[in-house]
Amino acid sequence: MSKNVIFCFSGTGNCLDIAKNIAKALGDTDIVMMRRAPAVRDVHEAERVGFVFPCYAGGLPGDVEKFARSLFVSPKSYTFGVVSYAGYPGVGLSKLNEIIPLNYHAGISHQSACIWLMPHTMMFPVLTPEKAQKRSEELAAKIAEDVKRGVVSDKKPSAPLFNKIEASVWPKLAPKKAAAFAVSGKCIGCGQCAALCPKGNIKMVAGRPDFGTDCVQCLSCLQFCPKEAIHMGGVTVKRERWHNPNVTALELNEKIIHID
């Protein structure tokens, strides 16, 4: 087992990029992906255990809450949580803190992955992708320094009521939104979308993706599609795609990424 373990959920790569940057600064780190059930659950020997995930509808993404409950983290380990978001951090850190008490927590705002709701540049404050990426790298470096020094946050993560309500309705809304997935004639049948889907919700039928509704809305299928052939309602047809420039679809699908 590596000295440090970071559990990471990422749909469009911002969180994996943040996790990699923190891991590079810490050294000897296993990034364990949490898009699907984590390949490692017993991390009680790790000196530091971190979590990096995005805010989805004010709460935790995918099955992160369920997976967090299944982990064995020693109370002796230093624990930290980092949330990436476009406009507000939501209640994800607070929820996680109830499951695994966090010594330290922080947030990083980045480009919005929620293409059906708004253009990716509509983060608050609005920043170009280049500037947002630079800021994300600077903040990840600062977080890594804090983690190395064992800084302890003086306040618990916040839990605004509006975000709690949003997060509680999201598990019902996400599958409904998925009913709008469609594929255009640009599709080359590469099957990357099906391979990426953390829920196995996309099946290749006659060389084309067929979408079910068991969807967590990570939008990796749509945002990483090499031909931009996947849509979700009319608004996404013309809207520019976003995925983090430092993360590939292949990497997103790894179970564990080790960084020395």
Ligand X SMILES: Cc1cc2nc3c(=O)[nH]c(=O)nc-3n(C[C@H](O)[C@H](O)[C@H](O)COP(=O)(O)O)c2cc1C
Query: Site residues (CB under 6 A) for ligand X?
Result: 10-15, 54-58, 84-88, 90, 110-114, 217, 219, 244
Q: Pseudo-torsion of CA 50, 56, 58, 63, nearest 10°?
A: -60
**Could you give the CA distance from residue 150 to residue 9 in angstroms, rounded to a whole number?**
23
In whole angstroms, the minimum distance from the beta carbon of 115 to ligand X comes to: 8
Considering the complex, state which of residue 49 and residue 219 has its C-beta at the smaller distance from ligand X: 219
* DSSP secondary structure string for all residues of 14-46: HHHHHHHHHHHHH-SEEEEE-SSS-S--B-TT-
In whole angstroms, the minimum distance from the beta carbon of 234 to ligand X comes to: 18
SS3 3: coil
In whole angstroms, the minimum distance from the beta carbon of 154 to ligand X comes to: 24
Q: How far is CA 211 from CA 28, 179, 215, 226, in A?
A: 39, 8, 9, 18
Considering the complex, state which of residue 17 and residue 30 has its C-beta at the smaller distance from ligand X: 17
In whole angstroms, the minimum distance from the beta carbon of 42 to ligand X comes to: 25
In whole angstroms, the minimum distance from the beta carbon of 98 to ligand X comes to: 19
In whole angstroms, the minimum distance from the beta carbon of 12 to ligand X comes to: 3
The pair of structure tokens assigned to 239 is 């809207």
What is the C-alpha radius of gyration for the chain, rounded to an integer number of angstroms? 18
Say what angle helices 14-26 and 129-149 make with each other, to 10 degrees.
Answer: 40
Say how far residue 235 (Cα) sits from the centre of its chain.
23
Residue (of 105, 97, 88, 63) closest to 166 by Cα position: 88
Contact (CB, 8 A) for 146 and 32:
no
Considering the complex, state which of residue 54 and residue 209 has its C-beta at the smaller distance from ligand X: 54
Considering the complex, state which of residue 77 and residue 84 has its C-beta at the smaller distance from ligand X: 84
Considering the complex, state which of residue 48 and residue 243 has its C-beta at the smaller distance from ligand X: 243
Considering the complex, state which of residue 57 and residue 106 has its C-beta at the smaller distance from ligand X: 57
